[in-house]
């Protein structure tokens, strides 16, 4: 049996500001924006290519805004990701890797997977790391229409 991580709640103080940040600057796709009165709103957003989404909103969690730290996004080319995010107006930290001397500026000299990082934070201070990972496979989203599903 698979146990898939599909949603992470990210605590924010201003849902519209956070939604604009994640869509316009981080490039996330808006999946859901739904409310049930003034005390409940959920916005779900997914990073490009990810099967896991984040949820921001009102009345959906008890963590204080800005208290979530260490979320990771994985990319195949961290320098291209940096250029893309900076081009959208996002403030990102410097790229770094871990070597024998500890945390060192720049990409890993051998471009090893899981060795190079770049930090950013949302307007509330929730922190993220973008990590470079080279993979020889690619995730593909497959949609099955209702007719095919009925036959299976």
DSSP 82: H
* 138 located within any domain: no
In total, how many domains does the chain have? 1
* 124 located within any domain: yes
* 143 located within any domain: no
* 137 located within any domain: no
* 140 located within any domain: no
Question: Residue 37 maps to which CATH number?
Answer: 3.10.180.10
Residue 2 has a pLDDT of: 92
Q: Please report the beta strands in the chain, taking only residues with DSSP state E, as ranges in sequence order.
A: 7-9, 29-35, 41-46, 53-58, 71-75, 96-99, 102-105, 116-121, 127-132
- Tokens read off for 131: 């990590």
Residue 149 has a pLDDT of: 55
* 1 located within any domain: no
Residue 135 has a pLDDT of: 76
Spatial contact of 132 and 115, defined as CB atoms under 8 Å apart: yes
* 64 located within any domain: yes
- Tokens read off for 122: 């949302």
Spatial contact of 18 and 123, defined as CB atoms under 8 Å apart: yes
Which of 63, 3, 59, 6 has the alpha carbon at shortest distance from 31? 6
Residue 74 has a pLDDT of: 97
Q: How many angstroms separate the Cα of 60 from the Cα of each of 11, 42, 122, 144, 150? A: 9, 7, 18, 30, 34
d(CA 63, CA 13): 11
Task: Determine if residue 56 is left, alpha or beta; phi over 0 gives left, psi from -120 to 50 gives alpha, anything else beta.
Answer: beta
Q: Domain range holding 47?
A: 7-132
Q: pLDDT digit of tens for each residue in the chain (152 aa)?
A: 999 999 999 999 999 999 999 999 999 999 999 999 999 999 999 999 999 999 999 999 999 999 999 999 999 999 999 999 999 999 999 999 998 889 999 999 999 999 999 999 999 999 999 999 987 655 556 666 665 555 55
Q: With H, G, I as helix, E, B as strand and everything else as coil, classify residue 19.
A: helix
* 76 located within any domain: yes
């Amino acid at each position: 049996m698979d146990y898939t991580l599909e949603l992470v709640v990210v605590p924010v103080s201003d849902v519209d500001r956070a939604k604009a940040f994640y869509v316009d600057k981080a490039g996330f796709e808006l999946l859901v924006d739904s409310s049930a009165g003034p005390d409940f709103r959920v916005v779900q957003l997914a990073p490009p290519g990810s099967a896991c989404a984040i949820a921001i909103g009102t009345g959906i969690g008890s963590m204080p805004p800005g208290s979530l730290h260490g979320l990771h996004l994985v990319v195949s080319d961290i320098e291209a990701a940096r250029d893309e995010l900076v081009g959208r107006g996002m403030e990102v930290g410097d790229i770094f890797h871990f070597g024998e001397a500890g945390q060192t500026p720049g990409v890993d000299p051998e471009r090893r997977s899981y060795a190079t990082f770049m930090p950013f934070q949302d307007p509330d201070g929730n922190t993220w790391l973008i990590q470079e990972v080279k993979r020889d496979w690619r995730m593909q989203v497959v949609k099955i229409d209702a007719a095919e599903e009925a036959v299976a």
